[in-house]
Structure formats: structure tokens, C-alpha cells
Amino acid sequence: MKTTFTARHFKSSTDLKEYSLDSVEKLEQFFDKIIVCDIVLSPGQDDENPCIAELNVKVPKKLINVSEEAPSYEQAIGNAVDTAIRRIRKYKTKHFEHN
């Protein structure tokens, strides 16, 4: 799986980048045919949840897009990864486990 990391409109710390990359590594446990995973972090407009994490997970014949808002980037990434895991499981069940 190829992974890209982008921080829009702010300078991210190396710790945040490492945390993001480590978090999306978990996706490979659930589906080993992931082609690319793009991580995009950006500040949002909402005062309560100012941090937005977006994951674009490219799997065969489909793009799974997940966007989550949270008070911190770490929480937003965690929520996005959880949602992506759920969607990948659903995709895998529909396309690979039917008989």
C-alpha cells in the first residue's frame, strides 16, 4: 500500500505525520489489496471540531472516501480510520466473499 500525507493550510509536526501513517497501516490488516491511501488534514470552520481528517482509500474498482471532524487531529484520524475499516469490511464482503 502506497501512502501519501498532506497537511493543508498548516505546518504539521513530525509526530502528527508519524501517528497518521501508523494509524492507516492498520487498514492492511483488514484488506491486503489496498492500492493507495491518501491522508489529508486540514483546519475546519467549526469551533467545536476545528480539525478535519480525510482518508481516500483506493481499492480495486472503488475509491473509499472518509472525512471526519474532531477537536484534535489525532481524534479525527482515529475516527476516520475506524470508519474506513467499517467501509472496507463492507466492500470486501460484497465483492470478495460471495459464493
All structural domains of the chain, each given as residue ranges with its CATH number in brackets, are 2-96 (3.30.160.100)
Q: For residue 76, give the C-alpha cell.
A: 479525527
Which amino acid, one-letter code, is at 8?
R
Q: What percent of the chain has pLDDT over 70?
A: 97
- pTM score: 0.90
What is the Cα 72 distance to its own chain's centre?
15
Is residue 24 scored above 70 in pLDDT?
Answer: yes
- Give residues with Cβ within 8 angstroms of 53, minimum separation 6: 20, 39, 40, 41, 67, 68, 70, 73, 76, 77, 79, 80
E strands, the chain, are 2-7, 36-43, 51-59, 62-70
Mean pLDDT of 7-32: 93
Amino acid 94: pLDDT? 87
Q: Is 90 exceeded by the pLDDT of residue 95?
A: no
Tens digit of pLDDT for each residue in 43-76?
988 888 899 999 999 999 899 999 999 999 999 9
Q: Terminal CA-to-CA distance of the chain, rounded, Å? A: 27
